[in-house]
Structure 1
Amino acid sequence: MKIEATIDELVAEINKSSIQPMQIAVLLKSLNGFFAPIATGANRAMGELGVSGRATGNVLGSADASAGQEESTEIQTKQIQQTMVEGAEGIAITPFGEGNAAALDEAIANGIPVVTLDTDVLSSKHSIHVGILSKYAGATAGNTLLEMLPEGPGTVLIHGWADPGWLDGVNRTQGARGVFEEAGYDVVVHQSIYDDEARDVEVMRGKIEDADPPVVGLIGMFSDSYRCVLAADAAGAPDLPIVAFDFAPQTADYMRQRRIAATHVQRQYYEGYLGPYIVYGIKSIGLDATRKILAPQLVEGNQFDLGVDVVPWNKVDAYNDFLDEIGAEQ
């Protein structure tokens, strides 16, 4: 409700300003899976701005799910450069990480406001980032699982991220890790092998079987969190408590079976909806005025904190109905 109120105020102020046509490029990692609600929100915002004559442009995303991180970063860097050639006056983007920083700063140097969505690029000079506070979100998920754990000693396995090339993933993982270590549990972090589910599950199985003290719970930090269930089954430990992140169809199915106790959802629809409006707001009412309106959710000056929805297993269908209501099915 607070996010909706902030959006309403921003839209109202924009509508008071004179119509200044603006070409906006929305560049997403993908239009599918986790990013589908972001695309839905962005398309809706672009449509509304287009009807009023304020914005033109497209929401673009990769259709090649097989591309690796380095190749995807190069593709997106070329997209950034191409949008500048084609006359983009504002960019909202879900970047692949620090590898996009130079291209984004080139756009900013040319007077193009840039708003990052989902993944931040700390070394870039972009105007505003819209997403979750990763360390806090990880700690929130950690506390959800903590309530389900038996008394120690015991080990918690985190299906997370350790490679500093993706700082948001590291911070989310470390937020959860800190909760368990403070409570006296041992922690094993397994970095997601995102592009190889079978290998991912097999490595986790080995870590569950080898843990000393034994694993007492699992937590996944990303949309592939449901693999924790597969790993627990492979290790012959189907009764271990499991907490997930995001709202992949497999996660929802396991929640209905009570195999996943709860998940934590990032409100991607609002991420996508805010992107074009913030970009246009910077043009029409200025960056300072836009920040002032966004202030209730702004942290450290330029990070718009969307927070997470904590969804327990017995609310999975009610939450799905809510997503359907706002057109943000996942």
Structure 2
Amino acid sequence: MTMTARTWTAAFGLTLMTGACGASDTADTGPEARPIEREPVPRNEFTPVEVEATIDNLVAEINENSIQPMQLTVLMKSLRGFFAPIATGAKRAMGELGAAGRVTGNVLGPTEYSGDQQKDMDLQTLQIEQAVAEGAEGIAISPFGEGNVPSLDEAAANGIPVVTLETDLASSRRSIYVGIDNDSAGATAGRTLLALLPEAPGTVMIHGTDDPTWVDGVARTQAAQRVFEEAGYDVLVHPINFMDEAEDIASMGAEIEAAAPPVVGLIGLFAVSYRCPAAADAAGATDLPIVGFDFEPQTVGHMREGRIKATHVQRQYYTGYLGPYIVYGIKNIGLDATTAVLAPQLVGESRFDLGVDVVPAEKVDAFTDFLDSIGAEQ
């Protein structure tokens, strides 16, 4: 590791994971390159068969073309919690590409947030600049926000393909986004709750957001809202207070209690959806049907108790796994050819929609087993 890399690691508290054993020798000695071989993934009812088929097609297309080694960097918001499966997928892909003599590089990210969004975003911008300075020829990144755009645009302007993971920066020059389409995901979650509701009229409460700076969050919230309004329900959006859980629960409970017509269902659209049962309890509405989002331990606990009827899980492992493959595909076969292979899951020209897993309460153990089988537990 160079002195600049040691300094960078110490300054930002990064965990580094090498893409493959011996990969650091690739650029210097050029180990024998060979076809990419994917590590087999166990198949069960939650395996995204269509996504797996697209990955296989991309690998096959890459293997048909000449071998072009590249240095690739994956930059993460974090390596823990929600982001741990993304890091697992990215590391596995880097290992497969490295073992085939195609890629050198690392998966980088902080072990924890600072709690200051601007500070975290600024530090990630420095990561981007450092990666480029040290020779990165491709970047896959879970960005913090719009503040990362100038450095990513500069990288793209210098011929470095950029793929965003989990959070899109559509205003940037990124080539492709990989994650969920929030409009589709919000509508899917809305339909899950809709099937549990009594007939309209009634009010549905959404634990969501109306923050215009959070584009993805608003898209998810508004998509769910449309589902309920089109079915004849009144909709009350309670904006999440991420920083103060007690206040968030108390104010949501008060809104449920005061709603007219009465609240007939409750949906949480983000990782803290496990707060919804507590809010219903605070309002004395313990029999409300509730559905959630993501697979936090607290959410799983409420599902086992029967309080949350279903949740909607982002396919984080596949988000991370696809990132390096798409970046390498752009270098190896070109952007147009790569997007042609990805077409079955593309929304528009450049958004790869992984979809969500709809997990009913009675399938919690089966879904947990699936996550364990691919190493994607949080």
Partner residue of 2:324?
276
Task: Report if the CA contact (8 A) 1:98-1:122 is conserved.
Answer: no
Match of 2:93 among 2, 24, 45: 45
Gaps of 5+ in 2: 1-48
Deviations 1:56-89 (A, max 9, x none): 1111122233423222222212211121111111
Q: CA deviation at 1:236?
A: 2.0
Identity of aligned residues (%): 69
Which aligned pairs between 1:88-103 and structure 2 lie closer than 5 A? 88-103=136-151
1:115-194 mapped onto 2 (5 Å cutoff) = 115-194=163-242
Counterpart amino acid of 1:32?
R
TM-score by length of 2: 0.84
1:136-186 C-alpha deviation (Å, 9 max, x unpaired): 110110011011112233211111121121211110000000011111211
Instruction: Say if 1:97 and 1:166, in contact at 8 Å, map to a contact too.
Output: no
Give the equivalent residue in structure 1 for 2:311. Answer: 263
- What displacement does 1:20 show? 2.1
Contact 2:210 2:218 in 1 (8 A): yes
User: Which of 195, 208, 215 does residue 256 from structure 2 map onto?
Assistant: 208
Whether 1:317 aligns to 2:338 is: no
Indicate the RMSD between aligned Cα atoms, in angstroms: 1.3
* C-alpha contact 2:114 2:120 (8 A) present in aligned 1: no
Q: Deviations over 1:29-80 (max 9, x none)?
A: 1111111111110010011111122111111122233423222222212211
Distance in 2 between residues matched to 1:7 and 1:177, nearest whole Å: 33
Q: Aligned residue pairs: how many?
A: 330
Matched letter for residue 259 of structure 2: A
The SS at the match of 2:77 is: strand
Correspondence for 1:26: 74
**Kept in 2: contact 1:26–1:60 (CA 8 A):** yes
Partner of 2:30: none
Give the residue type in structure 2 aligned to 1:104.
L
**Distance (whole Å) between structure 1 residues aligned to residue 76 and residue 282 of structure 2:** 35
CA distance in 1, matches of 2:133, 2:247: 42
Q: Which residue of 2 aligns with 1:230?
A: 278
Aligned to 1:308: 356
2:157 maps to 1:109: yes
Is residue 2:59 matched to residue 1:4? no
CA deviations 1:227-282 (Å, max 9, x no partner) are 11121122222211100111111111111111100111111111100000000111
**Match of residue 75 from structure 1:** 123
Which range moved further: 270-279 or 6-15?
6-15
